[in-house]
Structure formats: structure tokens, C-alpha cells
Structure 1
């Protein structure tokens, strides 16, 4: 059964509520600015009562309106196309370098642009060198955590188009080797949770990635460590997700606020 937030019985913190509200705004924009509570709860992987509560809050704040059960963005959350759009003010390269030192891992910022995986920035931490690109990074998205995170965010027809051009093949004994098996794997993976990958792209390397996008742009931030340190991966992925969400929240509400200034 897929993991759904809010089912543990514990009261959400303020930051958890903000993160969930951000996800609802994200899903609304992904749907073209309108959607029902049930659709948004499903897409954002939230319990329906939680989605209703957050949607009422967003309506009260003037970011969303309720038209007889159809929730609509009051105005688009417009973003530029610059690759730094989702990185902190210090810039993408400085940000991934900082994350690399904090997490003691190599860090990568990737985007899906014009039908291809694009590597936007790679940390320059000598103590944690990045994975060697021994197989074309763009053509092997199915085999690395960064690519898997990007493919999870695509619409089915976009993903089908990508996989028709870059076919699923085994790079190591650990790679999912067939198109059908890979599709089933994606279908079972929640879109908003970290993707973990052990030696699927390169032997001796373990990776994790999380989405770092709002609206139509598709991006992710990923990390890699030696496979011998694989026990660290889950904890690192959780920390990476928290940092990515901080950027997501700041970006979303800064843009939303700007769109509602008098």
C-alpha cells in the first residue's frame, strides 16, 4: 500500500502543513489550474480530509477559489525558465557545493528540458567526487536516481515518448532491465518521496534523488555515495528532501505573494 502522509495519528507541524499546501498548489498548476479535492489529494499523496482542510486555508488566503467543488488557482504561479529558478539566491552551483559539504556526498541538480535530461550543476567537493558518466546520462534516466525522479514527474505520454527514444537496458546486474518492469516500478513509487538507487547506474555507487519543482518545470536534486556506505542513504535522502522543500516553499510563496501584491 502506498505511504500516505498524515496517517500516523500525530498532529502536523506548521512546516509540514506548509509543505502539504505547497504540494496542493503544485498539483493544481500541473493540472492547468483546476482540480477536485479528490484528484488533488490523490496526486499530492495526502489523506482527503487533510486536502480539504488545506484547500480551505488556501481559499481563505486568496490563493485558490472554490467553484462548486472545483478548486482553481486565482492566478498562475508564473516562473521564469532560468535554470536557477528553484535554487536559493546564492545560485545553483554554490547551493550544490554547500549541500555536498553538509551531507558529505556528491550532489547534482538536474532538469528535464525539451524532452531530455539535463545536468544543471554538479558539486565540486574533492572529498566526494561525482559519479563518472560512463554511459550517456541523458539516455540512461531509467538507471539513475536523478533520472527516475524526473521520469516520475512526467505525464504518462511524455514518459512513453522518452522511453521510446531511450530504451530501458541493463547497465549493471542491478538495473531494471525491461520496459514493463520499469513502468511497474514507477507506478508503485509515490511522486513526492525520495527515489533510492543502489548500483543501478554504476557498480559501487548508491544514489538518492528528490523532486525540486513547482508547476510545469521538472527538476530534481540528487546525491551519490559509495555503495559501501549504503546504510547512510535513507537518512541522507530524508535530509536532502527537507532542504529541497525549503527551497520549494520559499519559491512558491514568494511568487504567490508577488502575484497578489496590490
Structure 2
């Protein structure tokens, strides 16, 4: 897996629930935890949510923490290597997170593999596990059948923009529309194929359809000849599972057959994550 993989997912997996609470109120939960740790992870989460780079003033606004507190905590994170100050004087996620992210991704793939294999046994097509890492989708796990396999863009370690993938749509369907538009503004909406969605309005409409039907589709939008169906892993994990295969084999009948096993596997992966939290 490339060194860039899951820098921001390390921050996300470390304390996502604590960070969400801290960001919402500027304080920590009354559970006897260490306030400075909750706030530090809230900072890492906020930087990740901003696409990996953010100004100090925006960081203070988004976390609702006093600027002096933000400055002190950020300086500590910079000294430790978990945050980096850019030449622009903005702040980004630092290189010390790389190792944590890589280890987390490997462990995640290990926990998920039996559940992905169950889906392969039922459906007979490749099953993928992907995470929203900053503004990009990273494929962190995959199980392929012994037959009918083909080389596709979903290989482990591959990074792609989310707007052309089923896993990206499945994850972003659970994200506020304003945040989705901000992400699209940062990444752009390149046309990978003639079928790619290339405008924010059309993409938001596709996310609405995804929520209504309970699964996402990639109809040759990332790679010609490849169709995918994906479901999100429940919770705040920003993970999704997908089945991908050649378009002739991935007709509507196969999609209908795949959705149930994918949801069952996604629930099982969520249970594994909750158990190891």
C-alpha cells in the first residue's frame, strides 16, 4: 500500500466519536476522559474533514474552541509530527500518522476479510473494502473469486476521487450536502469515462437516489466495461463494501442478488469495528 494511504483515516479511526462530540460542543464528554486528548483528536478530525489542510482561524471556528487553546494544541501536534505547518501557514496532517494509518488499514482488512469472502462465495464476483481518506477513496481490502476475475481499478492501495465510484457514493450519501459540495470543489469532477457524473448538482441528485434505494451504483463511470454496486458500513466509519465486475456479468439481476449479502457483510464489519474500538 502506498505511503500516502490512510494518513487522515488514522486520525479518523483513532477517536471519531470523541472528535465528533468535541467538535459539536467545544467540550469533552463527561466520561472521565482527558479533555486535551479529546480536543487534539477533534483537531485531527477537523483537518481531515477539510481535505487535509486548514487555516488556524478556520480550525478554531470549526471546532468551536478558543483560538489560544487551538494554537497550543496545534503547536504540540506539530512538535510531535502529527500535524505539519505548510509554507502558506496553514496546517496539514503530518507524517507521523502514516504508520498509524497503514497499520490500521492492514488490521481493518484482516478483520473484514472473512466477511468479504462470504459475499464472494454467495455472489461469485470480486468484493472490495474502501475508505474515504481525506478527499479520496482508498481501496484497503479485496477478495476475488478463483474464477471470473479480471484486473480492475479496485486493486488494494489504489486512490481515486469518490464521485466516479460506487463506494464513494455510498459513503457520501450519509454526508451533509454542503460538505459534499466542498469536497467536490477541492477534488474537481474529472470525467474518467463518458459516463462519469461531472456536475455537483447531478452528483447530489445521485446521492439522493442512493439513499432511497439503499445502495450505490457505478455504471462504467470510473472504468469502461466495469460496473459496481456498493453499500456503506453503518456508523461513522466512512467505509463501504462493493462488488465489481465486467458490465455483461453485472446486470440488474446480479445487482439485486448482491445487495443483501453486501448489507450483511457491512453490518458484520461494523460489529467488528465496534468490538475493537
> Do the structures match in fold with TM over 0.5?
yes
Distance 1:154 1:84 in 2: 25
From the superposition, tell whether residues 199 and 122 of structure 1 become closer, same or farther in structure 2 (CA, over 3 Å): same
* Aligned equivalent of 2:225: 204
Cα distance in 1 between the residues matched to 2:111 and 2:211? 29
Instruction: Report which of the two has the higher share of helix.
Output: 2
- CA distances 1:93-138 after superposition (whole Å, capped 9, x unpaired): 454344323320111110112332211012243424355229x963
Alpha-carbon shift at residue 236 of structure 1 (Å) = 0.6
TM-score, normalising length from structure 2? 0.54
Q: Which of these residues, 185, 190, 196, is aligned with residue 206 of structure 2? A: 185
Segments of 5+ residues of structure 2 without an aligned counterpart are 1-16, 34-99
Unaligned runs of 5+ in 1: 1-27, 36-71, 257-262
TM-score, L = length of structure 1? 0.56
- C-alpha contact 1:212 1:244 (8 A) present in aligned 2: yes
Q: Secondary structure at the match of 1:83?
A: helix
Deviation at 1:232, TM superposition (A): 0.9
In structure 1, the partner of 2:40 is: none
Aligned counterpart, 1:68:
none
1:207-231 residue CA offsets vs partner (Å, 9 max, x unmatched): 111111423x311111112211212
The residue number in structure 1 matching 2:21 is: 32
- Asked if the contact 2:136/2:162 (under 8 Å) is kept, the reply is no
Q: Which secondary structure does the structure 2 equivalent of 1:242 belong to?
A: helix
Whole-angstrom CA distance in 1 between matches of 2:111 and 2:150:
19
What stretches of structure 1 move > 4 A for 4+ residues in a row?
28-31, 72-76, 84-87
> What is the distance in 2 between the residues matched to 1:75 and 1:218?
27
Encode CA deviations 1:164-199: one digit per residue, 9 max, x unaligned.
232223333332232221122223431892112322
Q: Which secondary structure does the structure 1 equivalent of 2:161 belong to?
A: helix
Change in Cα spacing, 1:243 to 1:167, as seen in structure 2 (3 Å) is: same
Give the Cα separation in 2 of the matches to 1:124 and 1:235: 17
Structure 2 residue 112 is the aligned partner of structure 1 residue 92: yes
2:143 maps to which residue? 123
Q: CA deviation at 1:200?
A: 2.0
Question: What's 1:166 paired with?
Answer: 187
Give the match for residue 91 of structure 2. Answer: none
The Cα RMSD (Å) is 3.9
User: What is the CA–CA distance in structure 1 between the aligned matches of 2:19 and 2:246, rounded to whole Å?
Assistant: 35
The count of corresponding residues between Structure 1 and Structure 2 is 187
Contact kept, 8 Å, 1:108 with 1:222, in 2: the verdict is yes
CA offset at residue 235 of structure 1? 1.8
